[in-house]
Each structure stands twice: as structure tokens, then as C-alpha cells.
Chain A
Amino acid sequence: MIAETVRIPVPGGRLQGTLAYPADQPPSRTIVLAGPHPLLGGDMQNNVLVGLEAQLVVAGSATLRFNYAGVGESDGPDALSIEQLNAFLATSHMADETRRHEDLAAALHFATSTVGQDVPLAIIGYSFGCAVISAWLEHDLSATSRLDPQAIVCIAPTIGRHDYGGMSASSVPKLVLASRDDFATPSDVLREAVSSWTEPKRLVLAELDDHFFRGCEAWLSGQIVPFLETTGRVTNP
């Protein structure tokens, strides 16, 4: 496995990322990982992102994980400023958080242009990252977009805290994974929300580690890899 530190161009700067891929074979798919909320300890070193990267590359994929603007070494206004913290304490939201889909869009374009436009694309979101995917689907995925994801995986989506309209309307095959004791989204709320999403979709609930999946990273990849292998759509034939 090879992992490269990369800089993803965005308007006004660059985002910090890690592009990982198999050392001895061309990648069979490109997977972009969207991480949790920066003000809830979320960065590209998160255990879920790092754990999945390891397993997915072993399974033959190239992965890109990245820091949102203002996080870690990514350019942008400091995501952890006192002003942001104050706003977050009051609302559980940070300024401009609805625009993180622009970061994801940049990461997707970088990944596909680096790995290859003809390599099937999948997106995995964890926690807030699921809402970022939803926002990207709503804003960026249009008839003119050159990006055509084969599959989307939502890990512990933050239903009720963020807007999932884009996810709901998307016909991209979706796998939703969550723990039954997730503090962020109760199981019944998640079931109800996912039931209203456009097919194809699959929801898997298990007894894991609340919202955090500490020590459950291998379980996640055990669900995701077969799902990706059985979703047949290939981009840009």
C-alpha cells in the first residue's frame, strides 16, 4: 500500500488529504471519505476514516481522506476559533458548515482526476460527513456533472441534526450503517428516515460502540466491501 500526502486545490487555498492505493495493482475503484464534524473531534485522523482506508486499500481501492477547510493543515478560517466554538455551543452548528460540500466536491474531482475518470467512484460519509454528501448530491450532482458515484455509504448519519434532502432524492445505491445505541440518531428515527429515501438502499443496525465505532472499524469494512463489490454501476462507460 502506498499513501501519499496530497494538497487538494480549492478556491482560495488547498485542503490537506491522504491518497492511499495498492502498491501492486491498479485500483479497482476510487473512494472518497468524508469525515465527522470538526467541532466534535472530527479530522482526517479519525479512527473510522483511518481504519476504513486500511481495509479498503487491501480490498483493491484507492481512497482519499481529507480535512475540511480550516481543520488541521487545510487552508481556511480556523474551524476551532472562539467564535466558532461559541456558535457551536449554542446551536450545534458552525458557520459555513453547509458549504463543506464544496470541500467534498473538490476532493471528488481531485480523486477522480488523479486515480482515473474511468475508475468506478464511491463516497463514504461518517457522521456529519453523511450530511456533507447529501448537500453535495443536492448542489453539485446535476446532468452536467462528470461525477457519477457508483455507491454511497452512510455511517451513523446525523438525521434530525442536518438536512438529508439530497440523500433522500438520490437514486445512487446506498448502504447505511449505524449502531443501535447511537446517541446522535435513535434507531427508530434512522429507520423512518431511511425508509423514505429513494431505492436502492440498505440499512444495517448492529450493537456497536454508540456513534464512534472504536474497535469496530473491521466490522464496518466487512459490511462495506461486499456492498461495493455487488453494486454494478460503472461510471463513464
Chain B
Amino acid sequence: MLAQPVLLTGATGFVGRYLLRQLTAEGARVVVLVRADGEATAEARVGNLLSETGRVVPRNVTVIPGDLSDLHLLPRRFAELLGACETVIHAAACVSFKARPNGDPVKTNAEGTASLFRLLNGGKLKHWVQVSTAYVAGRRAGRVYEEDRHHGPFRNPYEASKWQAEQFLRQQAVATGLELTICRPGIVVGEFASGRTISYEGFYRPLRLLRLLAERFKEKPGSLGRDVSLRLELDPRGIRNLVPVDWVARQTVELAKAAAGGVRTFHLTPAEPTRNAEVVSAIRTAWGSRGIVFSAPMAPERRTRWERLFYANLSSLGPYWAEETEFDSTNLSRTLPDDPAPRIDSAAIVRLVRFADADDWGASSASRPARPTAVFPCRQYVERFLFDRVKQSSLPRLTQLDVTVALSLSGPGGGTWNCRFDRGELSDILPGDVSSAEVIYASDSGTFGRIVCGELPPAEAFFDRRFEIHGDVEMGLKLATIFGHFVREFPFPSPEAVGFVRMNEPQATR
């Protein structure tokens, strides 16, 4: 059970907004401490996060305008609201790797944590959930365990400040009996299924550099050029501790609920990290940049100008580029055994970079006003368009086609339908239970929309894991080929023409 109400800080940040969505989805009463930003009030900022169609903050969310560095200025009624919270999930942080003139990241991460503790201590607070980072381990050789109490040399002030915050809270927890849960994510990337992200920091920085260079190293039919490779001084078997943001939020909220007393530390890191070879494989798939290859470390003077440009722009990420740490996550897997980290493999990275491309690496979303959530008219398509056009298509000539195939489409505008084919004739389309169908296609409405509009070949969607086949898999593959044939004959008209409002997340392009 989640001790409520829950105070959430950092709700407008990358992980924070997913934490807020997760908490509200579970019906928790949430108090969020948010800074106003220019003309946008704190409440409007939170409203934007929670609803893409309006600015209404749900009743179970209370927004308190405030800044960690100025908590002493909070009006008394707000301080009382904060003091009534039994759980705090502290996700607010400055993620700058470099020291700033105002004292950040220490000011926000270490001093801000201490200020918040002092404000809440003496209230109803029972459980502090600290969103930290696995990299408080500093630069260490060998496997790093969750219970380790030492660290290697820090790579930057960010790591030091997060460690400082952890240490402060440990001391306070021991002194006051406060339950403390420390969540240490690895490198957080976009959502697993869609690749959607709002942050293009961390892992995205070198990817973006590679994107900029990719055009130069793109496949050129017939090319026998010599100067066409960008050598990454990496071991293809080297690892990256990538974790999707939605999983991190889910785990953090579950750990907040799994109260057990005392101080506990969890590495929110992958059991099987991503390999460098998978990253490059994904780049090739997404961008056709076949000239990006691995190389042994080399003297800087041996680098080409493009390679020098790449390494110069890595800047503060340099220390993370060439080496990675191996994190043990036994505590996490024992506590939450049913939801292991989804593996960020090549296909997942392809989704990340395709989203990023479509989002212009954040340049478009930063200035884009919130737009309506997508609704692909699946019902209109299945019950009208498909039913009518199949009769006009070459499918009735498939006299061997005797099957009931079901569509199970999640998301806005989705639904479930059974489609019965008798000797190639589509005899029935009925909404409802799909469990008796011989073949079930499961996907989301957005992917389905792209397939039926001819934007995404069914086979490609399947190999990208955008839809799954249940039941008779072989028949499902055959039907996917046949359906691709039908879509080529009768593509659904341009989505906008039939009222398909585009997803707020940009559609991937290929």
C-alpha cells in the first residue's frame, strides 16, 4: 500500500512526469511541488503533463508552486500541505555534469534534498523514496552491488552531488527511523514500446552526433570510396546500462508501495545490458549508415576530422563513452521479480532514434503546443472500409482462405473484432471476445493505422515487434502477407482526410 498523500518533486522532469502519470493512473493522491516557469504557472505546467487535450489538473493532484532552493519562502498553508504527506518521491534534480556559477548541481541535488528533509521532518512523513543514479558508484572496476557503501572517483560534480544527497538521507534515516528507499536508475532513455522521449540528454547526445554525421557515411550504391567510415573506439561487446523511462517510473512507484522499513537501495539497471554492437546495428537499420564501424583506441592524431569532431563534441559525456560499469540488481529482482527491465536491444534503439528523428531531436516538441491525442478510427476502418473493400479486392479469389482472424487493438480508437473468412469471402466482422479466433493480431491503434494506410509494411511492423501474432503463428504470417497484398490494393485514404488525428508523439519515418 502506498502511504498517502504522496509528495512528488521533479514532476516536470524526464522521469518525474512518468512518475506523476504512474501515480495518478493508480489513483494516488499526489501533491506536486513545481516551479513556475516564465508566464506558465505551476498548475499549468502540471496540467500540460497530465492531459494533452487541456490544462485541467485532476482532483487527486494538488499543485504547490515552489522551488527547492527557496522552501523557506513557502506560504504556511503550502508548508502544511507538504507536511501532511506520508510518502515523498524526490525526483527533482539538476542533471548538469558541470559545475554552474549558481552552485548547481550541488545546490539542487544535495542542498535541496537537505532543505526538503528539514521542511518535512516533524510532519507525517514515513517513507522517503530518493531517485538517485547508479553512477553514484563513481568510476569503479568490477561489479557494483546495491549494498556497497563506497564509491570510486567521481566523473563529475553531478555524481558527487547525488552521492552527497544519499549519504545525508542515510544519516537522517538512521537518526529518525524514517524509511528510506534509494532508487538508482541506469541511463534512462525513452519509452520502451514507442521510443517516445522528452529528453535528449545522456545516451541521446552521442546518438545525435552520429545522426549529424550519418548522412556522410550513408550507403551509396556502387560506392568503393575509401574515406567513408567513422571509427568508434569501442569494444562491440561493451555494455550500456539503458533502461526505459516508463519502466523506471513503474519500478519506483512499486518500490514506494513495497514498504519494508529501514534503508534499502535498488539498482534500476538492466539484467542484460545493451551491447555496443546492438547500438551500431540499430543505427544502420534506422539511418542506413553502414560506414560507422568499431575500432581499437587510437592516438588522436590518427583520427579523421570527422572523428575528431565527434570526440570533441562528446564533451562531458566522454568519461561514460569508453567505459561502462556493471551493476548488480539482486535486491530489485528479489523485491519486484515480476517486472524485469525490458531489454533495450537493437529493435528498441531503432524505435528510440526513429522517434527522435521524427521529433527533430526535441527541436519540434519544445515549441509545439499540446495537440490532441491520436485516435485512429479502427472501428470505421474494420467495420466499414475493410468489410466493403475486401469484396472488391482479389481476396475472394483466395478460395483456400477459411479462417477466423481477430484484431485486438489497444489505445485510443482501438477495440477487438473477429473477422470470419469463408473461402476468401469476408462473411462476418463482429466486435467482442477474440479468444476463439484461430489467429489473433495484437497491436496498438496507431501502428494499425500506419499499416492500413500503407505507411508501414506488416512484415516490418512484426519484425520491429510493433504487433504480435497469437494462436496459429504460421497462419498468422500467411495472413500478414495476404493483408499486405490487400493494403497495396486498397490503402486506407490519407489519415487526415478521414479524421485520423495524428499522434502527439511524431510517427517514425523510414
Query: Which residues on A are within 8 Å of B, measured CB to CB?
Result: 1-5, 20, 22-24, 39-41, 43, 45-47, 50-51, 54-55, 58, 80, 82, 85-86, 88-90, 92, 183-184, 210-212, 214-218, 221
In the complex, what's the smallest C-beta–C-beta distance from B363 to chain A, in angstroms? 29
The answer to whether B229 and A41 have CB atoms under 8 Å apart is no
In the complex, what's the smallest C-beta–C-beta distance from A19 to chain B, in angstroms? 10
A200 to B459, CA, bound (A): 35
Interface range, B side: 35 or more
- B285: nearest residue on chain A (CB-CB)? A50
The answer to whether B221 and A2 have CB atoms under 8 Å apart is no
In the complex, what's the smallest C-beta–C-beta distance from A216 to chain B, in angstroms? 8
Q: Told that A24-B293, A217-B346 touch, could you supply 9 new A-B pairs with CB distance under 8 A?
A: A2-B224, A41-B462, A54-B277, A54-B281, A58-B280, A82-B485, A89-B478, A215-B343, A218-B277
The answer to whether A218 and B278 have CB atoms under 8 Å apart is yes
| Interface residue? B371 (CB, 8 A) | no
The answer to whether A86 and B397 have CB atoms under 8 Å apart is yes
The answer to whether A4 and B480 have CB atoms under 8 Å apart is no
- A59: nearest residue on chain B (CB-CB)? B236
The answer to whether A215 and B465 have CB atoms under 8 Å apart is yes
| Interface residue? B458 (CB, 8 A) | yes
| Interface residue? B348 (CB, 8 A) | yes
A218 to B240, CA, bound (A): 14
The answer to whether B290 and A214 have CB atoms under 8 Å apart is no
The answer to whether A88 and B275 have CB atoms under 8 Å apart is no
What residues of chain A lie closer than 8 Å to B347, measured between beta carbons? 47, 214-215
In the complex, what's the smallest C-beta–C-beta distance from B202 to chain A, in angstroms? 22
CB within 8 Å for A41 and B481 given contacts A4-B223, A23-B229, A54-B277: yes
15 A-B pairs whose Cβ atoms sit less than 8 Å apart in the complex: A5-B222, A23-B226, A23-B229, A43-B459, A46-B463, A51-B281, A58-B236, A85-B478, A90-B400, A211-B473, A212-B463, A214-B347, A214-B465, A215-B465, A216-B345
In the complex, what's the smallest C-beta–C-beta distance from B26 to chain A, in angstroms? 29
A50 to B346, CA, bound (A): 11
The answer to whether B463 and A47 have CB atoms under 8 Å apart is yes
A63 to B7, CA, bound (A): 56
A183 to B468, CA, bound (A): 14
The answer to whether A183 and B473 have CB atoms under 8 Å apart is yes
| Interface residue? B74 (CB, 8 A) | no
CB within 8 Å for A80 and B485 given contacts A4-B222, A54-B277, A212-B463: yes
The answer to whether B281 and A218 have CB atoms under 8 Å apart is yes
In the complex, what's the smallest C-beta–C-beta distance from B173 to chain A, in angstroms? 40
| Interface residue? B394 (CB, 8 A) | yes
In the complex, what's the smallest C-beta–C-beta distance from A223 to chain B, in angstroms? 14
Interface of chain B residues 23 through 51 with chain A (CB within 8 A) = none
- A5: nearest residue on chain B (CB-CB)? B221
What residues of chain A lie closer than 8 Å to B464, measured between beta carbons? 214
| Interface residue? B456 (CB, 8 A) | no
In the complex, what's the smallest C-beta–C-beta distance from B433 to chain A, in angstroms? 24
CB within 8 Å for A40 and B291 given contacts A5-B221, A54-B281, A218-B277: no
What residues of chain A lie closer than 8 Å to B228, measured between beta carbons? 2, 23
CB within 8 Å for A41 and B458 given contacts A85-B482, A218-B275: yes
What residues of chain B lie closer than 8 Å to A183, measured between beta carbons? 473-474
The answer to whether B398 and A55 have CB atoms under 8 Å apart is no
In the complex, what's the smallest C-beta–C-beta distance from B290 to chain A, in angstroms? 4
A3 to B474, CA, bound (A): 32
The answer to whether B459 and A41 have CB atoms under 8 Å apart is yes
| Interface residue? B460 (CB, 8 A) | yes
What residues of chain A lie closer than 8 Å to B236, measured between beta carbons? 55, 58
The answer to whether A92 and B474 have CB atoms under 8 Å apart is yes
A141 to B10, CA, bound (A): 67
What residues of chain A lie closer than 8 Å to B345, measured between beta carbons? 215-218
- A45: nearest residue on chain B (CB-CB)? B460
- Identify the interface centre among B236, B290, B482: most chain A CB within 10 Å of its CB: B290
The answer to whether A82 and B397 have CB atoms under 8 Å apart is yes
| Interface residue? B477 (CB, 8 A) | yes
What residues of chain B lie closer than 8 Å to A214, measured between beta carbons? 347, 463-465
What residues of chain A lie closer than 8 Å to B400, measured between beta carbons? 86, 89-90
What residues of chain B lie closer than 8 Å to A89, measured between beta carbons? 398, 400-401, 478
- Identify the interface centre among B284, B401, B458: most chain A CB within 10 Å of its CB: B284
In the complex, what's the smallest C-beta–C-beta distance from A74 to chain B, in angstroms? 16
The answer to whether A2 and B474 have CB atoms under 8 Å apart is no
- Identify the interface centre among A90, A212, A215: most chain B CB within 10 Å of its CB: A215
